[in-house]
Each structure stands twice: as structure tokens, then as C-alpha cells.
Amino acid sequence: MQFLDIHDKDFNQKFAAILSRGEETGREVEQVVLDIISAVRQRGDGAVLEYTNRFDRLDAKGVSELQVSDEEIDYAFARCKSEDIDALKLAVERVARFHEKQKQETWLSTEESDIMLGQMVTPLQRVGIYVPGGKASYPSSVIMNAVPAKVAGVPEVIMVAPTPGGEINPHVLVAARLSGVDRIFRLGGAQAVAALAYGTATIPKVDKITGPGNIYVATAKKLVFGQVGIDMIAGPSEILVINDGSGTPAHIAADLLSQAEHDELASSILITTDRGFGKKVAQEVERQLALLSRESIARASWDKFGAIISASDLDEVIEFSNRIAPEHLELAVSDPFAILPKIKNAGAIFMGHFTPEAAGDYLAGPNHTLPTGGTARFFSPLSVDDFVKKSSIVYFSESGLNRLGRQIVRIAQLEGLEAHGKSVSIRLGEQQ
């Protein structure tokens, strides 16, 4: 962890390592992924089975064995505590309620009596959601990806999740059924992305792939983009906490560690106008670190990519925040609503001292799939919009074309596109 002052001459240089973490994919990773994609395209199920057995230590005889059965999901429900199922149900209900408000309907405009214009909103027909496995299991990722798709009206949601050793977390399966997932495959890595993008005899081709994964998954999504849609290229998780010296240091320390425990590349940053408060937070982080079951991961993240930054006033703090465009932004200040209008770039904004980022991760309602690495400057959280497409509707009556046709022809002539103009003028009776 670094103690920094925003006025230090070498501040930008010292902070650069945090900003650039996770940027380099590496040619070796990209080549491995390209080889996997090529193999899946050429050999379909055979390549999928080979890679899955190798990487996840399975012994499946066919890809059909990788599909999770209804009986397995029933068994997962039986293994889960009723209180856990109730919590997941509540999360699904709240996330669905929030995303319902994002829905847009097809609309038509008849402002002109002889021309009708509009937009048709149509759900994607089939999407694939990637749910990480390995170091941790994330039922919340299932909910955040599947529920918006179902709210949007997507008929078929295919879920893939790696299962090292063949095990799959029962809470993930429970969340999948509660969220309306239609089919689940024990399948991860670049081979899962390639199978969803191009389709195999067993894995259906999808229109879009969403959900986070490791560097191989992120690279695969990047490489298949264009063949299918993707949500975003998600990098390591990050949190920025803005503070004015108010609040409880232990609370803010816990919030910083909530990101640090994700993985070794996660970044947790506090920027405060009270340097003394920052020191107290640092002490609390050290105390709480020793109590975490994922201490080694959180400590690696905190030591290398954690920072406590002091600034003169909140205007400096806000300018810094807008510059780095954090994934998670906590406004741990006495009056968060006063500075909210000044925030221009953030994936999700958590207001006040009693809104920890974890509330948004699980069941507040908004989506926790957020832009990382400064991409909140131009990307938005996953939403219903990611699971629909929009088509423009144009209708001209004869009088409408007669009224505007000559201007259409004139613009076509400006561009030197004779056939464009003729397709209109011939209807006006001016050319044959």
C-alpha cells in the first residue's frame, strides 16, 4: 500500500502502476486463446471436450455429459439452507424490479400525417452468460447476468461455468433456476466462449456473451467480438472511496478489503481530505486483514495496488475521481448528495456512510457487472439494454415521398450516388 499526496511532484508516476494493472494481455495468452478458438471452430464438441477434461480435470466421454440435469439442480436445492435460498430469492426479486424500470417499448411517431417513424425494440433470441468458478463461486454473478436478460424477454439463456474436479457450487445452481436460466454446462475458459460464439453440435450458438472471467476468458471475448456481441472487457475489480474525514475508519477499511479479497490484481483506494483519518484507516486495514480467510489474496492486492491519498479539498478529490473513472465509487462523506452532481465518471456510486459497496454486489437492485479500468468514461453497467436490439421503422405514404423526395434526390446528387437519387425520382415520375 502506498501513502500518497496528490500534490507530490511524482504522484502521477507513483500512481501509474495502479492504473496500468491488468492492461497487458500478453502475446502468449492471446496466442493460446487463438489456438483454442480455432480448434473449437474446426473440431466442435471434440475440442470442447478435450480442453475441458484437461483444464478442469474431468473424464467426460461426451459434451452432453457436461450439461447439468434438472435432477442435479433439484439436489442443489436440497443441499442449501432455506435461509440461503430465501436470500437468493430476495436478490432475484430486487434485481428484477430494478431492471424492469429500464425496459423500453417499441414506439411510433405520427407527428407528420403522411410519414410514420419509429423504433422497434426486440429481445435477443439466445444469450450466453459466463459465471466464474475456481477461486470462488458467485451466485450473484448468475443473478446479475440472467435476470436482466429475462426481464428483456430473451427466450433462451445458456449458462457456462467451469467446474474444476467436477464440482459446482449448489448456490450457483439454485441462483440459475431462480433467475430463469434455461440450460447449464460445466464448461469454462476460452473454449466456453468459443463454443458459445460459433456453436457446436451440443453447445448452441448465441447472439451475445456476458459475464466476467479470467484473462483467458476476457481475451476470448475480445477475439470473438463481431461474431457475437459482448457486454464489455472486464478487468480486475476496483474501488475508490472519497472521504472528508467523517465516518468510521473501521467501516471504510472493511469496504477497501471487500475489493482486495477478489483477487491479487484488485485495487482499493481511499482519497481523503483528512490525512490523519487516512492513517487510522490504514491501521484498521492491517487489523482486519489478519482476520480474513482470504488474507493472502487480499494482502497481495492491498500491498501492491492499494493506496491512501490525501488532498486539500473535495474539489481536488472529485477531479481525481472523474479522471480515473472508478468501477465502484463510495461517497463516504457527510453530505454525499451535495457532491453527486459533480461526479461524471463512475460505474456505480454508493452514497453515504451506510451504503457499503457490497450492498450493490448482492441485492440492492442495480447491476454489479460494471466497467473497469477507466472505461466508465464511456461504458455503462450491464442492463436490459444489453439484451435487446433496436430497429428503425420508416413509412412514407405517396404524399410523404412527394413532399420530401426532391430534397432526398438533391442530397444523393451531392454525394454522387446517382442510383440512390433515381430510386426516389423514379417514384416521383421524373425519370424512367
Catalytic site positions: 327-328
Closest C-alpha to 207, from 139, 277, 123: 123
What is the pairing mode between strands 115-123 and 388-396? antiparallel
Q: What is the largest CA-CA distance in the chain?
A: 85
Q: Going by DSSP bridges, is the β-strand pair 306-310/2-5 parallel, antiparallel, or unpaired?
A: parallel
**Contact residues for 247 (Cβ-Cβ < 8 A; gap 6+):** 332, 333, 353
Count of other CB atoms within 10 angstroms of residue 167: 11
Angle between helical axes of 82-100 and 170-179 (0-180°, round to 10): 40
**Spatial contact of 163 and 56, defined as CB atoms under 8 Å apart:** yes
- DSSP sequence for 296-331: HHHHHHHHHHEEEEE-SSHHHHHHHHHHH--SEEEE
- Closest by CA to 189, choosing from 168, 163, 207, is 163
Closest CA to 197 of 388, 37, 62: 37
Give the Cα separation of 64 and 61 in Å (integer): 8
Phi, psi of 101 (to 5 degrees): -70, -15
Compute CA distances 214 → 107, 372, 379, whole Å: 40, 14, 20
The amino acid present at 409, given as its one-letter code, is: V
